[in-house]
Structure 1
């Protein structure tokens, strides 16, 4: 059967747990993914994200005028390892009081708010580079055991470097949040790349930018630290599509910035 070109969808990336995908539809189309109407650029590009444990098939619906169609995509499942981390402050494993728990909830709300904007900038289309080079000491998806206590999975890419090492913006964006000392994540910075895609940098020793700043790819934005729940100095870089946590390693693999 002939399918009108206006209903065609194309994707860059891989349909795999933790993946970011950039799609293209005819400009002016309506695209719906996981019950969310997805914003398109004037040229028809859009971004979506797949969570750590999402299962397929996933449906993307596209419509324009009276025409509509649904596409179904299988999702490759992943196996995640267990990572044991000993030597973190025990207070970051078992919060000691109701007051601390309220602080944790309050800080979580700040981060969720910073990730919630659907800004129409297109910075994500320029690709990404590592915010710094160094040994990889933690990966996305691994089930974390802190001081012998099983906790939530790890959702970032850990890069070990000495305290004070400069962290650069992996892509252009707007700084949405700078916070000196969150309970779990320590020094925290959220950078918005547009269309719900954000980078978060945690355990920092300091920020070199402030909320509201526009930064370019490669610009110095922060310094490595060991604040929050950490055993030593490193950067924990996280990528989100709104509240969906993505794998930074897959972002780098499938959406590298031009050299």
Structure 2
């Protein structure tokens, strides 16, 4: 069932707009992202946000888990004229996931833990404001780990019977110590060995506000500011933070908007195929 769901959502869209002013390719679904191309001199706005455009005319936009289905991209030309191009975002249905047996301290943190959590969240939010001109996001992404998918984007978790916020990423079950590879080129913007919820945590920036996060790591093998290439080993799978077993939580953001990284990669390969 999971495979069918992902394959259906992975349908890609590409369409030109009037006078070839704008082209857009990607996944126009909740949790998806799209890469556009315009005249480099054009100013792009999306959802009240000014969007960076590369010297080649590339830009990227993302859609939240519960994004409204009707939206538009605004192009402001150098002569002062404005074009508005409507787009339709496909609605998704999400699953409910129940997890029992977590330590009560991880489900209902103490006041001291809440203070710590607040500081960690502030640091992550600051990093996700990065708006680097690199266009690493234009690469075809690969899976950082090959394994069984144990958690999917958008599902809501009920922890020890208490409903929590939706799950914003993909969980890949793998033994502790399994190498985690960079899914695309990027620059490391955050490393932390022991965050309250996510344990060993690593963020890689891919340019224009697109970043990927890796949680519950056993070991981080890169440093902040380091440039990494697609396929480089950047960490090891672990069971740190709030977990019930070793796995990689792989998430993706466009600034503060949480995306589904599974939409950017092909179906999960089998271990035998990945070893070839």
TM-score bracket for this pair, using the shorter chain length: over 0.9
* Alignment correspondent of 2:93: 79
> How well do the aligned residues superpose, as a CA RMSD in angstroms?
1.4
Task: Determine helix, strand or coil for the equivalent of 1:231.
Answer: coil
Q: Which residue of 2 aligns with 1:68?
A: 82
Which moved further from structure 2: 58-67 or 148-157?
A: 58-67
* Candidates 20, 29, 35, aligned match of 2:42: 29
Query: 1:170 corresponds to which residue?
Result: 183
- Say if 2:177 is the partner of 1:126: no
Unaligned runs of 5+ in 1: 255-259
- CA–CA separation in structure 2 for the residues paired with 1:33 and 1:180: 35
Shift of 1:253: 4.6
1:139-186 per-residue CA deviation (whole Å, 9 max, x = no partner) reads 000010111111010001000000011100000111000000000000
Match of 2:248 in 1: 235
1:87 shift after superposition: 2.1
Considering Cα pairs closer than 8 Å and 6+ residues apart, tell me whether 1 or 2 has the greater RCO.
Answer: 1
Cα distance in 2, alignment partners of residues 92 and 176 from structure 1: 26
Partner of 2:11: none
Instruction: Select the residue among 46, 50, 60 that pairs with 2:59.
Output: 46
- Whether 1:212 aligns to 2:222 is no
Give, in angstroms, the shift of residue 91 of structure 1.
1.1
Cα distance in 1 between the residues matched to 2:160 and 2:52 = 43
TM-score normalised by length of structure 2: 0.88
Alignment pair present for 1:191 and 2:187: no
Q: Is contact 2:41–2:78 with CA below 8 Å preserved after alignment? A: no
Deviations, residues 88-133 of structure 1 (Å, cap 9, x unaligned): 22211111x2111010010001111111110001111122100010
Which secondary structure does the structure 2 equivalent of 1:18 belong to? Answer: coil
